[in-house]
Amino acid sequence: MKTVLLALAATLTISQPSLLAADPSLECSISNDNQVKIGDCLTTTESDVDGAVNLALGFAHDAAKELDNITEGTSSVKALEQGQSDWSAYRDAHCKFVGTTFGGGSGTGIAIQSCRIELGRLRVTELMKFSQ
């Protein structure tokens, strides 16, 4: 129960509407005054979001496994694993595209990291829907 509450708290922190609406690079610009510091902030934020995705994925996996046990099947876990793999590929490809829209300029890396953070936050919200 404690783990579920911790995960819920992490999810609520990451998926607050105000955070979903804000651009991660803008969030990091509040207390950082140059691209290097903004990049460092984004790296930390991306790591935190990746951790939240993994935590939410674990909860969704547990729920899928429980469903498969009840139905004496294996399709739920397999579908979740395939979906996560496909989502990861989509995130990487889409954020690479976002980076290309900066024409190789100095904001390219920041744009890619911001994209990965935004999509990761959305993924946490989606995974948590299926972890109950």
HEC per residue, the chain? CHHHHHHHHHHHHHCCHHHHHCCHHHHHHCCCCCHHHHHHHHHHHHHHHHHHHHHHHHHHHHHHHHHHHHHCCCHHHHHHHHHHHHHHHHHHHHHHHHHHCCCCCCCHHHHHHHHHHHHHHHHHHHHHHCCC
pLDDT tens string 63-117? 999 999 999 998 999 999 999 999 999 999 999 999 999 998 989 999 999 999 9
**2-129: CATH number:** 1.20.1270
pLDDT tens string 16-54? 444 455 799 999 999 888 999 999 999 999 999 999 999
| Entry pTM | 0.81
